[in-house]
Amino acid sequence: MKKLFKIIGIILLLGIIVLASIPFILESKIDTIVQNYVDKNVNAKVEFDDISLSLLSSFPNANVNIENLKITTYAPFEDETLANAKQITLKMPIKEVFKSASDDPMKVTEIIADEVLLTLQTKTNNEVNYDILKSTDSTASGSFSFDVEDYKIKNSAFTYLDESSETVIYITNINHEGNGRFTESISELDTETTAKMSLAIDSVEYLKNHDIKLDALIDLDLDNDKYTFKENQGFVNDLPLIFEGFVQNVDDGQLIDITFKNPESDFKNFLAIIPEVYRKNLENVKTTGDFKVNGIIKGLVSDETIPNLDINMSSNNASFQYPNLQKSMQDIVIDASVKNNTGKTEDTYLDINTLNFRIDQDVFRAEAHLKDLMENIKVNAKVNGVLNLANLAKAYPIDMEQNLSGILRADIATNFDMNAVETNAYQRIKTTGKASITDFVFSSEEMANPLQINSANINFTPSTVTLNEFTAKTGNTDLVASGTLENFIGFLVSSDQPLRGNFNVTSQRFEVSDFIVNKTTGEEGSASTATGKELKLPAFLDANVKVKANTVIYDNLTLKNVNGKLSLKDETARLTNVTTDIFNGNLALSGLVSTKNNVPTFNMELGMNGLDISESFKGFDLLTKLAPIADILEGKLNSAIKLNGALDGSFSPDLSSITGDALAEILTTKLTASQSEVLKGISSKLDFIDWDKFDLEQLKTNLSFEKGQVSVKPFSFSYRDIPINVSGTHGFDNSMNYQLVLDVPAKYLGSEVNRLIGKINDNEVNQISIPVTASLSGSFGSPKVSTDLPSGVKNLTAQLIEIQKQKLVGKGKDKIKDLLGMTGTKPNQTNDSTVVVPNTTPITPGTDSIPAQTTQPKGVRETLKDLLKKTKKQTDSTKNGGN
């Protein structure tokens, strides 16, 4: 007995060793088999990370696992992914692993595909990305057939994109399983499916994340390629449907013959069709009345035809009321159908013969007829009724931060085709009737304040849509408008169509801040939470507007009598000759403002005429930055400014970003020097200047600015008989670097200079003047002022003393005249324009040495000017700073 158990133990051990060894022996074989099969049968690139074989863990079955399968297509869909699969597992009896291609079909008990992503595409020329199987001889060596009993598809997704019909299908969260025999001629397949489905055709969304459930028992007739549905029930959201019929593959396409209907007639079934996000919980909704849906889909699906359709939906005298809502929707009547009697896609039509409902005493009626659904949709529709928007929110669970209110009245008929809308062929859009809304209030997070439309009245004719009346208020802003609309229907039915029109808008008071939205970033209550501001021009507007406003409040500016033209398009506002009264003068603006990008930008021309300087520099920050010293002026200003840059959160120019240039002209004015540290600093160095006696009338200057720096083109003006030239730069941070060059007559240079001039008693000397440079640095609030006046006066004084000495030691009146270069030629003189004078070389500041005699070909005054200019150059080259 012990020997028997020992022998059995050895056999079992050998068996286990063999089972454990087989995967290592066969894995390379499986790899080769799969790759050979792919190469012979698939016209696409097939990749996978690994193929493994397990015998022990699934004994008495074998498991084959394919990890991370990827199928990539060739041209014309080159390098696009057709399918991904995280894992595919095949379970089979161990003996099936050892079958060759010539044996009977390989029996696979179960196939499990996990996280499969499949994308099917059809181009406009009918090329498809899923036609990847090669034409092969099914009897050829190396081909395989499978006998599958069970299969599962878990957590997968399917996408279908058809460019020719503009059809998009997304099916997600797919979990599907079935069991049956696929090798028998006649067999039965039992399936269960759950998924979420979205369907859009020609940009119209018919299903959006609808829950789909299907329990289907399908007869398989593999010889005739026919699949018959029996005992089937499916769900669209919570709407149950039972269906029967068959689908059969034929040479020209697929034959379909399916009928369906809802097994229950409760009106709650209609609400079930609406996506959950909109219909909310139906569990406690009270309904009355019936709802029926039935249909027949029968015919050939091919490249040229679709099946005939006869789908109907109806409800009579129905009602519903949601729990916790005050109102109910009553007298609901629905009569709608989708039909196609020819099999041609262009002959598919939708009739909504009746869609009526009542809330309290307000009745709303509508009907619509749509033809050529697959091509150029043609619409014939009518609406008539009254709708209290506040009651709508009380009868139907609408998620809104603010309650709707207002009364909508409409009596409109329209007839158009979508091609006319897309091509703006307004002559084919026939709309008649009228619509009005009163006491409408609406708000959202995209608006700074609720919009209250007191009244709006629109008339429709076949040629025009006229806005007869529009009065509204938001915040402190009131608006009155009238005008015409060019494509109102296109705007309503197509999300990419702008609202075009021409309007006249008037306002008694318009505050820009009423349209600036506060934006909060970061998590609420966190330290990172920050509030910003944003003004976005509506992207859907393409309009020309004539504007007239009595008062406009923009930042800290108050504009009066605003008139002009405004055009809006592509989130850009263009201003043309907009004029306003401000600062006791007039301002004209032309240019554009754009909010298309994250940071709003502007490009503007400003014309200022007769602005009060004091008021404008207090209220207009840009002027203060361009000319900080101008705030001490009193009088009138004319200016032309061109500038561009970015706008900040308050919709004011971001001064660090602006670039441009300006021309300014100052009219009658006076200075208030006591308010300027700069003028005080200059006066402390040039005590002969009395700012109260300055006359700056008709002063003109040019300047340019970029990145916070202002460059002033040199300009000149006079103080009494002193010409002054100004040039330099300053920054928006009030830093400055300026030079004032003054041509100062000697009479302003002190008593010593004037005493010497008087002793010399020469007309030319009496008219002498010297150049003086004042340098300004630091800031306008704390200036640093230096001049070369002391060195200039010292040099002039030395020259005058030397002339006086020579005059005293000279001999006779003629000699003095000669020294001064004021007489004719002496007898021994070789040049009648040259006289000998002393000290024509400047005295070096700080010394008492007297240079030797030289010749002077000019008069004394001109010579002194030259000497002083030369001295100034020498002094400037050696000094470290003025004092």
What is the tens place of the pLDDT at every residue in 800-841?
887 777 777 653 344 445 534 443 333 333 333 333 333 333
Q: How far apart are CA 539 and CA 570, in angstroms?
A: 5
Closest alpha carbon to 515 in 504, 526, 507, 523: 507
CB burial class (10 A; 0-12, 13-18, 19+) of residue 874?
middle
Q: CB-based contacts of 40: which residues, under 8 Å, 6+ apart?
A: 134, 136, 140, 142, 143
Q: Cα separation of 97 and 850, whole Å?
A: 124
Helix (H, G, I), strand (E, B) or coil at 26: helix
Q: How far apart are CA 601 and CA 8, in angstroms?
A: 90
Residue with tokens 């006696």: 693
518: Cα separation from own chain's centroid = 17
Q: How many CB atoms lie within 10 A of CB 693?
A: 10
Query: Are 406 and 390 within 8 A, CB to CB?
Result: yes
Contact status, residue 82 vs residue 112, Cβ threshold 8 Å: no
Q: How far is CA 653 from CA 296, 533, 710, in A?
A: 65, 14, 16
Q: What angle do CA 751, 753, 755 make, to 5 degrees?
A: 65
Q: pLDDT band for position 133 (50/70/90)?
A: confident
pLDDT at residue 753, rounded to an integer: 80
d(CA 604, CA 113): 63
Structure tokens given for 229? 């549905």
Model confidence band, residue 446 (pLDDT cutoffs 50, 70, 90):
low
Q: Residue 247, Cβ neighbours under 10 Å: how many?
A: 17
Q: How far apart are CA 120 and CA 142, in angstroms?
A: 28
> Cis peptide before 76, with omega less than 30 degrees from 0?
yes
Q: Name the token pair of 608.
A: 């200022």
The better pLDDT of the pair 330, 536 is held by 330
Residue 305 to residue 755: CA distance in whole angstroms = 117
Residue-level pLDDT at 308: 93
Residue 43 has pLDDT above 50, yes or no: yes
d(CA 634, CA 668): 8
More reliable by pLDDT, 542 or 820: 542
Query: Cβ distance 303 to 128 under 8 Å?
Result: no
Q: Percentage of the chain surpassing pLDDT 70?
A: 78
Q: Helix H segments across 370-510?
A: 389-395, 418-422, 488-493
pLDDT digits (tens, 9 = 90+) for 196-230: 988 887 666 777 788 888 888 888 887 888 889 88
Identify the three-state secondary structure at position 272: helix
| Contact predicate 262/241, CB 8 Å | yes
Quote the tokens at residue 164. Answer: 């020719």
Q: Is the pLDDT of residue 735 over 80?
A: yes
CA torsion sign for 92, 94, 95, 100 is positive
Distance CA(600)–CA(593), nearest Å, equals 7
467-476, long-range: CB < 8 A, 24+ apart:
467/501, 467/503, 474/447, 474/448, 474/449, 474/450, 474/514, 474/515, 475/448, 475/449, 475/511, 475/513, 475/514, 476/509, 476/511, 476/514, 476/553
Q: Report CA-CA distances (Å) from 750 to 690, 745, 758.
A: 15, 11, 12
Q: pLDDT band at residue 357, thresholds of 50, 70 and 90?
A: very high
- State if pTM tops 0.75: no
Residue 531 has what pLDDT? 42
DSSP per residue, 679-733: HHHHHHH-TT--GGG---TTEEEEEEEETTEEEEEEEEEEETTEEEEEEEEEETT
Amino acid (1-letter code) at residue 413: A
For the stretch 1-5, contacts whose Cβ atoms lie closer than 8 Å and that sit 24 or more positions apart, written own/partner, are none
Q: For residue 413, what pLDDT band results from cuts at 50, 70 and 90?
A: very high
Strand 499-511 to 541-554 pairing: parallel
Measured between alpha carbons, how far apart are the two ends of the chain, in Å?
127
Residue 127 confidence (pLDDT) above 70: yes
Which pLDDT value is given to residue 276? 62
Q: State the sign of the Cα–Cα–Cα–Cα dihedral 641, 647, 648, 651.
A: positive
Q: Where are the domains of the chain?
A: 1-135+143-164, 427-521+529-569, 583-728, 758-878
User: Does residue 173 have a pLDDT over 60?
Assistant: yes
Single-letter amino acid, residue 444: S
* Candidate ranges 131-145, 690-704, 812-826; pick with highest mean pLDDT: 690-704
Question: Which range has the worst mean pLDDT, 111-120, 596-605, 836-845?
Answer: 836-845
The half-sphere exposure of 313 on its side-chain side, counting CA atoms within 13 A, is 17
The distance from CA 109 to its chain's CA centroid, rounded to whole angstroms, is 56
Q: In terms of pLDDT, which residue wins out, 139 or 686?
A: 686
142: which 2 tokens?
């190396």
Cα–Cα distance for residue pair 660/652, rounded to 1 Å: 16
Q: Say which amino acid occupies 789.
A: L
Contact 162, 123 (CB under 8 A): no
pLDDT of residue 689: 85
Question: Which pair of tokens denotes residue 87?
Answer: 């894992």
- Between helix 812-819 and helix 789-809 the angle, nearest 10°, is 150
Question: Is the per-residue pLDDT at 57 higher than 70?
Answer: no
Q: 572: helix, coil or strand?
A: strand
What's the CA gap between 824 and 218, in Å, rounded?
136
Report residue 203: phi and psi, to 5°: 70, 5
CA pair distance 300, 254, nearest whole angstrom: 6
pLDDT of residue 97: 67
Judge residue 883's burial from the number of C-beta atoms within 10 Å of its C-beta, 0-12 exposed, 13-18 middle, 19 or more buried.
Answer: exposed
Look at the alpha carbons of 158, 161, 162, 168 in this order and tell me if their dihedral is positive or negative. Answer: positive
Q: What is the pLDDT of residue 58?
A: 67
- pLDDT band at residue 94 under the 50/70/90 scheme: confident
Higher-confidence residue of 525 and 606: namely 606
CA distance 675 to 683: 13
- What is residue 101's DSSP assignment? T
Cα gap 618→637, rounded to integer Å: 14
What is the mean pLDDT of the segment spanning 657-682? 81
pLDDT of residue 449: 82
What average pLDDT score do residues 724-739 get? 91
Q: Compute and round to an integer the Cα radius of gyration of the chain.
A: 47
Q: What is the pLDDT of residue 310?
A: 95
| Region 281-307 average pLDDT | 87
Residue 314 has pLDDT above 70, yes or no: yes
Pairing of the two strands 106-122 and 146-162: parallel
Rounded distance, CA 110 to CA 91, Å? 5
Helix (H, G, I), strand (E, B) or coil at 807: helix
Contact in structure between 409 and 440 (CB atoms under 8 Å) = no
**What's the chain's average pLDDT?**
79
Query: Strands, E, within 341-377: which ranges?
Result: 349-359, 362-371
Confidence category of residue 157, pLDDT binned at 50, 70, 90:
very high
Q: What is the mean pLDDT of residues 550-555?
A: 88
pLDDT-based confidence at 699, cuts 50/70/90? confident
Please check whether residue 540 is in contact with residue 488, taking contact to mean a CB–CB distance below 8 angstroms: no
**Nearest residue to 209 (alpha-carbon basis) of 234, 172, 239, 174:** 172
What pLDDT is recorded for position 106?
A: 65
Provide the pLDDT confidence category of residue 296 given band limits of 50, 70 and 90: very high
Give the total residue count for the chain. Answer: 883
Are β-strands 286-288 and 292-301 bridged in parallel, bridged antiparallel, or unpaired? Answer: unpaired
Q: Confidence class of residue 312 from pLDDT cuts 50, 70 and 90?
A: very high
User: Could you tell me the CA-to-CA distances from 693 to 112, 689, 718 in Å, in that order?
Assistant: 100, 8, 11
3-class secondary structure, 302: coil
Q: What is the mean pLDDT of residues 161-173?
A: 86
Residue 642 has pLDDT above 80, yes or no: yes
Q: Which value, to the nearest 10 degrees, does the dihedral of the CA atoms of residues 474, 479, 483, 485 take? A: -10
Token pair of 573 as six digits? 């506002």
The predicted model gives 761-782 an average pLDDT of 84
Residue linked to tokens 């702008």 = 498
As separate numbers, helices (DSSP H) first and strands (DSSP E) second, the chain gives 14, 42
pLDDT tens digits, one per residue of 228-259: 988 788 887 778 888 899 999 888 888 999 99
